[in-house]
């Protein structure tokens, strides 16, 4: 069965361009031209993924994303204006999996969709990852340290997930960027550092050694010992 994508876009030309391209790529596509129509469509036929334009005529896109995220896990890719940095940050914080800036190349959109759908289906398979005192239940989106439940944001979870799947293996920033975001932020970016710092704060306590360790000049490694 082909995967179903809900496109939320009020500009008719862009919507029909996306529909044609995605159908050609083998997806089934439904287009909603307002936030209200998107929420109704998602209830009617739950999509595998949502492409969400942030500038909608009725409910603002961020609110639509929040409401969609209240249901079962669902990858959301936001479309934003080039200068809307605050929107992108708010969207990613609010649980959108990724974003694309308009105008974009259709090939790039397809690549991002593949990344998100692949990751999503991997997460649906119930498995418990264990590295030292850390356990991760991908399906339940649950992380524990020595049995203590730790609350992570969606992106923190994804970053940790990459390391949990490659314990004791040094991962470069590029590898993590590629697996979590589907593209490289470049060597000037400190996006990963920000997430690593947040994860350490949440995972470490006074009596636990550092598990997510810096390998200077290379990247990071997750180990159970010091
Ligand atoms: Ca729009």
Q: What is the pLDDT of residues 120-147, one digit of tens each?
A: 887 776 678 889 889 998 878 899 998 8
Compute φ and ψ for 135, nearest 5 degrees: -125, 145
Q: What is the mean pLDDT of residues 77-83?
A: 84
pTM value is 0.57
Residue (of 96, 106, 61, 66) closest to 81 by Cα position: 61
Dist CA 165 CA 52 (whole Å): 30
Environment class of 8 (CB within 10 Å of its CB; exposed 0-12, middle 13-18, buried 19+): buried
Residues 128, 43 contacting (CB under 8 angstroms): no
CB 96 within 8 A of CB 52: yes
Going from the Cα of 201 to the center of ligand 1, the distance in angstroms, rounded, reads 38
- The pLDDT score that the predictor gives to residue 141 is 85
Q: How far is the CA of 54 from the centre of ligand 1 (A)?
A: 6
The model's pLDDT over 33-55, given as tens digits with 9 standing for 90+, comes to: 999 999 999 988 889 999 999 98
Across residues 9-35, what is the average pLDDT? 96
Interval between CA 166 and ligand 1 midpoint (Å): 40
Report the SS3 class of residue 193: helix
* 26: number of Cβ within 10 Å: 8
Report d(CA 96, CA 88) in Å as an integer: 9
Average confidence score pLDDT of the chain = 89
Give the bridge partners for 222, in sequence order.
212
Task: Report the alpha-carbon distance of residue 45 to residue 38 in Å, rounded.
Answer: 10
Q: How far is the CA of 97 from the centre of ligand 1 (A)?
A: 19
Q: Is 113 helix (H, G, I), strand (E, B) or coil?
A: helix
Q: Is 90 exposed, middle or buried (0-12, 13-18, 19+ CB in 10 A)?
A: middle
Longest dimension (CA), the chain: 58
> 12 CA to middle of ligand 1, Å?
9
The Cα 41–Cα 131 span in angstroms is 40
- For residue 138, what pLDDT is reported? 80
Q: What residues have CB less than 8 Å from 124, skipping those under 6 apart? A: 73, 139
Do residues 194 and 202 touch, judged by C-beta distance below 8 A? no
What domains does the chain contain, in order, with CATH numbers? 4-123 (3.40.50.2300), 126-222 (1.10.10.10)
């Amino acid at each position: 069965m082909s995967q179903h994508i809900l496109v939320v876009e009020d500009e008719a030309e862009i919507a029909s361009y996306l529909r044609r391209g995605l159908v050609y790529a083998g997806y089934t596509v439904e287009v909603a031209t307002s936030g209200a129509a998107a929420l109704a469509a998602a209830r009617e036929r739950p999509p595998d993924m949502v492409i969400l334009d942030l500038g909608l005529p009725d409910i603002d896109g961020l609110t639509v994303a929040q409401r969609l995220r209240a249901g079962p896990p669902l990858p959301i890719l936001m479309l934003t204006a080039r200068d809307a940095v605050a929107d992108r940050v708010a969207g990613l914080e609010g649980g959108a999996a990724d974003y694309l800036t308009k105008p974009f190349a259709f090939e790039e959109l397809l690549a991002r969709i593949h990344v998100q759908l692949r990751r999503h289906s991997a997460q649906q398979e119930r498995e418990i990852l264990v590295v030292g005192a850390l356990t991760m239940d991908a399906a339940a989106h649950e992380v524990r340290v020595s049995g203590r439940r730790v609350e992570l944001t969606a992106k923190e979870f994804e970053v940790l997930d990459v390391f949990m799947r490659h314990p004791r293996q040094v991962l470069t920033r590029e590898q993590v960027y590629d697996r979590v975001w589907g593209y490289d932020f470049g060597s000037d970016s400190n996006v990963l550092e920000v997430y690593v710092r947040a994860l350490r704060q949440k995972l470490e306590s006074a009596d636990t050694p550092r598990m997510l360790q810096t390998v200077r000049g290379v990247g990071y490694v997750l180990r159970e010992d010091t």
